[in-house]
Amino acid sequence: MNELAGKHIVLGLSGGVACYKSAELCRALIKEGATVQVVMTEAAAQFITPVTMQALSNRPVYGSQWDAREANNMPHINLSREADAILIAPCSADFVARLAQGRADELLSLLCLARPQDRIPLLLAPAMNREMWAHPATQRNLAQVAQDGATVLAVGHGDQACGETGDGRMLEPGELLDEVIAFFTPKVLAGQKVLVTAGPTFEAIDPVRGITNHSSGKMGFAIARAAREAGAEVTLVAGPVHLATPRGVQRINVQSAQEMLAAVEIHAQQATVFIATAAVADWRPAVASEQKIKKDGSGQTPVLGFVENPDILATVAQSQHALAGDLFCVGFAAESHDLLAHASAKRVRKGVPLLVGNIGPATFGQDDNALLLVDAQGHRELPRASKRVLAQQLVAEIADRRTAPKT
């Protein structure tokens, strides 16, 4: 996807060993459709060569405010004016201090100081040793630059090049890319608390066996990510799936439908939007054996009895919070045929304002899907696209309905 198509990013590198990650970041930004202009401090050039960054960005790298290649000799003006954002990655402790003081004696800090603040955002990806990160001077400087309008991104935790372990690592290139994409996303769900269920459930037969289904969780995870990018506070209750947690999303792992209901009931009370994408098992074994069921040699097969699982969506949709209009509930319908008829009936049966239909067997585990949105007014198709794109479209649809006056 070209999620940064048309965006021009000034990627500034200050001195730090994390410069090696900036090469990958530069590629990732370009792969998403951005154009990237690299500016490096003298210290950054000790860690990675401008040649590497020029080759990856396909543009000459700037490093001096006296660069005679610019006709007016003002690279600090020319480079910043065409940017959609300036991203400093890595942003060293020294560079934060320079920004906090408004210094302008080398090109990168000069360029940051000279940028039109109302138009060109400044994003900082700090990278430093844990002691430097924890030092009151650094924290004071970070607070100051944030107050001055910069967006200070998080740092990672873990092993550091110096051999120590702690906070201060620069985020990984993929994480930084996600942060940049999120930064440019319109905040249509700002102030909303979104609760999402995703994936299958696993209903135990005994300690080593159980009943589950083919749901991959991809749609629910994509929705959680898109909702967070749109400014919501997101909690994701996930059945057993091997997917990375979207950045900034609170994840709660569960196994069974009963566990999923318990987690959902706790978080639904604070939520303003509930999106049930999970493929919850309709039935569970009436008794889960505490020990592995063994063959006894007789050839007899075990007889399993089933009981119905709670309907999580219907339970939440009937709660006081939802009935009062304070929780907007969205259901999904995984059908094999007659999508519109089944989805419409399911919307009424579950008591939700919006139901999203899809053909289950055609989408389970896939990266794309097609959706049918059904509400009281009628239905609308979201044609086949990646789950990422569909999640963004669905979030926009929910934002429209959530901000509309209650009926």
CA-CA distance, 174 to 357, in Å (whole number)? Answer: 32
CA–CA distances in Å: residue 206 to residues 304, 317, 346: 11, 32, 32
Bridge partners of 253? 238
Which helix (DSSP H) or strand (DSSP E) does residue 379 occupy?
Answer: strand 378-386
Stretch that binds ligand CTP, among 5-13, 133-141, 273-281, 369-377 (CB under 6 A): 273-281
Residue pair 83/29 in contact (Cβ under 8 Å)? The answer is no
Closer to ligand CTP by Cβ: residue 222 or 333: 333
Cis peptide bond upstream of 90, omega within 30: yes
* H helices present in 203-270, as ranges: 218-229, 257-268
In 3D space, the residue among 154, 179, 150, 180 whose CA is nearest the CA of residue 168 turns out to be 154
Which residues 182-211 are close enough to bind ligand CTP by CB under 6 A?
197
Stretch that binds ligand CTP, among 74-82, 133-141, 285-293, 325-333 (CB under 6 A): 325-333
Q: Of 93, 278, 327, 391, which one interacts with ligand CTP (CB under 6 A)? A: 278
Q: Residue 320: helix, strand or coil by DSSP?
A: helix
> Smallest distance, Å, CB 206 to ligand CTP?
22
Stretch that binds ligand CTP, among 65-73, 99-107, 204-212, 278-286 (CB under 6 A): 278-286
Tokens found for residue 359 = 């053909």
Residue pair 346/331 in contact (Cβ under 8 Å)? The answer is yes
Stretch that binds ligand CTP, among 92-100, 177-185, 206-214, 329-337 (CB under 6 A): 329-337
User: What is the per-residue DSSP string for 231-300?
Assistant: T-EEEEEE-S---PPPTT-EEEE--SHHHHHHHHHHHHTT-SEEEE--B--SEEESS--SSPPPP-SS-P
Which residues 330-349 are close enough to bind ligand CTP by CB under 6 A?
331-334, 346
> Smallest distance, Å, CB 333 to ligand CTP?
4
> Smallest distance, Å, CB 316 to ligand CTP?
8
Closer to ligand CTP by Cβ: residue 170 or 238: 238
Bridge partners of 380? 373
Among 19, 91, 162, 329, the one annotated catalytic:
162
Surface-to-core class of residue 367, CB atoms within 10 Å of its CB (0-12 exposed, 13-18 middle, 19+ buried): exposed
Helices 173-184, 218-229: inter-axial angle, 10-degree rounding? 60
Stretch that binds ligand CTP, among 11-19, 45-53, 82-90, 306-314 (CB under 6 A): 306-314
Residue nearest to ligand CTP (CB): 312
329 as an active site residue: the answer is no
Pairing of strands 354-359, 328-335: parallel
Closer to ligand CTP by Cβ: residue 190 or 323: 323
Q: Of 171, 276, 322, 390, which one interacts with ligand CTP (CB under 6 A)? A: 276
Q: Of 313, 317, 322, 394, which one interacts with ligand CTP (CB under 6 A)? A: 313
Sign, CA torsion 110/114/120/121: positive
280 binds ligand CTP (CB under 6 A): yes
How many residues interact with ligand CTP (rule CB under 6 A)? 16
257 binds ligand CTP (CB under 6 A): yes
309 binds ligand CTP (CB under 6 A): yes
Closer to ligand CTP by Cβ: residue 4 or 223: 223
> Smallest distance, Å, CB 214 to ligand CTP?
12
Q: Which residues bind ligand CTP (CB under 6 A)?
A: 197, 257, 276, 278, 280, 282, 309, 311-313, 331-334, 346, 350
Residue numbers annotated as active site: 162
